[in-house]
Amino acid sequence: MTNKTNMNKQASIKTWAAVTTLTASHLVADPVAEKTKRKDNPPNILFIAIDDWRNDLHALGVDHVKTPYMDRFAQESMLFSHHYVQVPTCGASRAALLSGLRGPQVGSGNHAIATGHRHWGDQVLPRWFRKHGYQTLALGKITHHPGNLRGDDWNHPPEELPNAWDRSWVPPDTPWQTPAAMMHGYANGVARTRGQSPAWEAYDGDDKSYPDGWVAAEALEVLAELADADGPWFFGVGFFKPHLPFAAPKKYFDLYDPDDIPAPADTKRQPEPSGWRRSSELMGNYGHDGRDPYTDEEYARVLRHAYAAATSYVDVQVGKVLERVRELGLMDDLIIVIWSDHGFALGEHGAWGKHHLYEAAVRAPMLIRYPGMSQQGTICHATVETIDIFPTLTDLAGLPSPQGIFGVSLRPLLDDPGGASLKPAFSHWRGEEAVRDERWRLVVQGAAKNDQVEAIELFDFKDSVEGIRVDHEAHPDVVERLLAELRNQFDDPR
């Protein structure tokens, strides 16, 4: 990184003195003594999931967002700037993560894990690691339902993903009465009233005013217990923010001047034919007092401000977990993955929400760190997919990978982050599919297989992070090449 980047990072870190209890030494010093690596065990795995986190990360050049703890971890890991999810909704994206299968194979709904796991056999990620001697734990939101139960209010059996975890739970004794209330929680135990509760909230309280503060506190206790575990472990920690409602303690809102948060370069609704749709999640599940971010730029700025505050809030919670890992001397023996299940459009191409195949919805951050890695502090710009995480973890852990999955190990890119993409990225959403290579995104209504194409959108990213829609008829070679990729996407399971 340049000196200017490092100076900006230090300035960002200093702003955190007023909003976190972590000390200055936590930000600059490595542990004095590292635990000796246990040579008789494979590495442990810490998997951190963040909900609805788009590529708003200072380490990726998004200068208006404050994420110093993630930025510090980016210096210790490899940051993938072009990671794409298979389905832009929580449940199906997590189903692809856990199974290594593509969108149509897992489904497009939030019940994809509950209805699909019986077809995956022992090849679901936590079962696979459990089968190979790992203790598996899931805290918070790892599957779609926090705590892994899908009965009433997600508080009763049956399990969403059975026979996979030695323990799966949400923090006990919180003000929120159920995991469902926690998922969409407001300050101090208030649950959402669908269609009426606001889309954002800023409560003047501490980090445990909202659920992620409880998740972080519970994770710290569990890590202390795992530090003395005899065998290898896989610990999933799932945070809720910045998922709607965009709610966080007021001190995180105070970090920002809303006027300094820029609008996207292109906020115009895409012309027909297009995959544009009005967000039922944002506009239907929450009350807006008659305001509409599609037409009210002042309200759009309010929501962008609240999303940034929620992002900074979860950044601090993740920072607490990573600092506990350092304090316990676990880094020598630990693979860490930080991943988001999808992005969230905040006006890009006239879209708000995640249920579409535009870049802002299906592109999300991913960071990987493992013992002995040689390329710490680098950014990999190759195109990668969520389904690549499963075989990458088995590769790094020295385990075999299941047969029939579609992800590939990212080890070649971890060794050489400047290498070419290993394959394009594919995403699907309810009658649409998309393919992304290093320059282009092709969105198809219908299906390319058997030439069932009803409409096409082509976006060029040569000179734009958000992508510029171009006349696809002016690029016939590009369109035909990407359509061929879509036709063949299911032809090569690993």
Cα 246 to Cα 199: distance, rounded to the nearest angstrom: 6
CA angle 339, 345, 349 (to 5 degrees): 140
Give the residue ranges of DSSP H helices in 100-208. Answer: 103-106, 112-120, 125-131, 179-183
Query: In terms of Cα–Cα distance, which of 392, 391, 435 is closest to 414?
Result: 392
Per-residue pLDDT band for 28 (boundaries 50, 70, 90) equals very low
**The pLDDT of residue 25:** 33
Least confident of 36-40, 214-218, 377-381: 36-40
Confidence bin at 316 (pLDDT 50/70/90): very high
For the segment 52-81, the average pLDDT, to the nearest whole number, is 96
Q: Which amino acid is at 214?
A: W
Specify the pLDDT at position 491: 87
| Dihedral of the alpha carbons of 117, 123, 127, 133, in degrees to the nearest 10 | 170
pLDDT for residue 450: 80
Fold of 3-416: Alkaline Phosphatase, subunit A (3.40.720)
| pLDDT attached to residue 19 | 56
Work out the pLDDT band at 258, boundaries 50, 70, 90: very high
User: What's the rounded Cα separation, in Å, for the pair 478 and 472?
Assistant: 8
* pLDDT of res. 39: 46
Asked if residue 155 has pLDDT above 50, the reply is yes
User: Taking 90 as the threshold, does the pLDDT of residue 40 lie above it?
Assistant: no
pTM of the predicted structure, to 2 decimals: 0.93
Average pLDDT over residues 104-120: 89
Mean pLDDT of 36-57: 84
Residue predicted with more confidence, 279 or 5: 279
Confidence of residue 33 (pLDDT cuts 50, 70, 90): very low
Average pLDDT over residues 285-304: 97
pLDDT for the residue 37:
40
Whether residue 333 is predicted with pLDDT greater than 50 in this model: the reply is yes
278, two tokens:
């009005």
Classify residue 363 by its DSSP letter. Answer: B
- Segment among 3-12, 69-78, 135-144, 244-253 with least mean pLDDT: 3-12
The C-alpha atoms of residue 73 and residue 368 are separated, in whole angstroms, by 9
pLDDT at 277: 87
Average pLDDT value for residue range 387-409: 96
Residue 55: partners with Cβ closer than 8 Å, 6 or more residues away = 62, 81, 343, 363, 364, 365
Percentage of residues in the chain having pLDDT higher than 70: 92
Q: Which of 115, 141, 150 is nearest to 53 (CA)?
A: 141
Q: Give the Cα separation of 385 and 82 in Å (integer).
A: 8
Q: What percent of the chain has pLDDT over 90?
A: 86
**Percent of the chain that is helix, strand, coil (3-state, to 5):** 40, 20, 45
Reported as a single tens digit per residue, the pLDDT across 404-418 is 999 999 999 999 999
Band (6; pLDDT cuts 50, 70, 90): very low
Return the domain boundaries, the chain: 3-416, 431-494
pLDDT at residue 26 in the model: 37
- 170-211 pLDDT tens trace: 999 999 999 999 999 999 999 999 999 999 999 999 999 999
Segment 461-487 mean pLDDT? 96
